[in-house]
Amino acid sequence: MRDIHEDKRVCYGAKYHHERYDGKGYPNGLKGDAIPEIARIIAVADAYDAMTSDRSYREALPQEVVREEILKGRGTQFDPRIADIMLEMIADDKDYSLRQKEEKIHSVLHRSRQKL
C-alpha cells in the first residue's frame, strides 16, 4: 500500500467518466473540454471494457460491433479525438487480443491475493 499516492486526476476520472461529450451525461452535465481529460479517456476505456468482457447476461460482443458502437458515440458520448485513438487501437488489434480473457482475470485475482 505504500506505493499508492494521491493523484487528483484519478478522483476526477472516477467522478466524471459518465459525463458525455454532448453534455447529456451525469453527474453534472459537463460538456466537451469541460470534462476532465482523464474522465474522457476512462469513458471510452470503460465502454470498451464493458462491451468486450463476458457478462452474466451475455458474452463479449464481436470486435466489429464494439468498433461500430465507439464510432456511433464519437462526438456525442465520447470525445472524438479519444474515440479516434480507440478506433485506431481496435483496427490494430487484428486478433482481438485487447479484449478481456478469462485467464487474465484469474491471473490478476491470483496476484492480488498473494499481496494481501
87 is in which domain, residue-wise? 8-115
**Domain presence at residue 40:** yes
* DSSP code at position 62: P
Place of cell 454532448: 22
At residue 10, the 3 state secondary structure works out as helix
From residue 94, alpha-carbon distances to 14, 64, 73 in Å are 30, 11, 22
Longest CA pairwise span in the chain (Å): 43
**Domain presence at residue 98:** yes
pLDDT in tens, 18-61: 999 999 999 999 999 999 999 999 999 999 999 999 988 999 99
- Write the CATH number for 88: 1.10.3210.10
First to last CA, the chain: 10
Pick the residue with more confidence: 38 or 9? 38
